[in-house]
Amino acid sequence: METAPKAPKDVESAFSRSWELLTSNWVIIVPGLIIGFVVGAINYPLLPQTEGYSVGGALTAFSAGVVSVLVNVVGAILSMCYMVGMAGAAWDRGKTTFADGSLAFQRDAGNALTALIGMVVAGVIAAVLALPTLLISILLWFYFFVYTFPAAIVGERPGFAALIDSFRIASRRVGPTLILVVLTCVIFAIGAVIAGILRFVPFLGPIVGAMISQAVLAYVTLVVVGEYLALRDVAAVPPAGVPPSA
């Protein structure tokens, strides 16, 4: 019988253990760097084609835009599956390889795509409500769906069940989830500032900045995956491969 991945005891240990896992598994940041480079290389020649002022130009711009969207969606799914899948394996065994990310993509790409569609729809609704709610809707969107991709990939939750699981966990475990969301936002902000400054450094600056951005994303992913593993049992979310009880 497949054993459930090891989970942290509390949110504080999730952050500390995630740092240990990241420092011993730097390979987690590599897929995102490669995928980002490939997606950027494909998008670059498409950008001039997205502006057209004649009938033929408009058709070309539309086609280029469709291709660009598809490339970015595939890149996002690949990146999420590899990073979240490798993070889950790191929590389980303490070590991870590219094979863990490849397995996650083969097994859970459909779950990740469905979850992404659900997140986009919910995000559009939150954006529409952002002005009348003074951006509270955006904060709630991030808060309630923070565990969506770990649920879809590590938890192997099909369809929109990943969003439901994330909402259930965040609703029942408010304290740990609130701490998680606040601290990850702070970490993202610090990483973005550092990466933004490095972009002004010639030659190596943008490269180092991209590596730092991926390292921050990998660390946050490890933290969120760890908390998902810790809280899903408390919130009565079944582990991977186990159907919910009737």
Question: Tell me, what amino acid is at 169?
Answer: I
Of 222, 160, 181, 230, the C-alpha closest to 28 is 222
Give the pLDDT of residue 1. 37
Cα angle 183-222-29, degrees, rounded to a multiple of 5: 110
- Residue 153 to residue 84: CA distance in whole angstroms: 7
Of 83, 126, 62, 42, the residue nearest 224 (C-alpha): 83
Report d(CA 156, CA 175) in Å as an integer.
25
Rg of the chain, C-alpha, whole Å = 19
Is pLDDT at 2 greater than 50 in this prediction? no
pLDDT at 245: 47
Q: How far is CA 180 from CA 22, 76, 132, 135, 137, in A?
A: 17, 23, 26, 19, 18
Q: Do 154 and 229 touch, CB atoms closer than 8 A?
A: yes
What is the C-alpha separation between 245 and 227, in angstroms, rounded? 23
The CB density around residue 138, as the number of other CB atoms within 10 Å, is: 15
Q: Pick the range with the lowest mean pLDDT from 137-141, 145-149, 159-163.
A: 159-163
Two tokens, residue 206? 């943008």
What are the pLDDT digits (tens) for 209-234?
A: 999 999 999 999 999 999 999 998 76
> How far is it, in rounded angstroms, from Cα 213 to Cα 132?
32
Longest dimension (CA), the chain: 62
Q: What is the pLDDT of residues 89-144, one digit of tens each?
A: 999 999 999 999 999 999 999 999 999 999 999 999 999 999 999 999 999 999 99
Q: What angle do CA 98, 103, 104 make, to 5 degrees?
A: 100
Q: Are 232 and 155 in contact (CB under 8 A)?
A: yes
Whether 17 and 8 have beta carbons less than 8 Å apart is answered as: yes
CA neighbor of 184 nearest in space, from 235, 150, 233: 150
Burial class (CB in 10 A: 0-12, 13-18, 19+), 139: middle
- Write down the pLDDT at residue 238: 59
Q: What's the mean pLDDT when you consider all of the chain?
A: 89
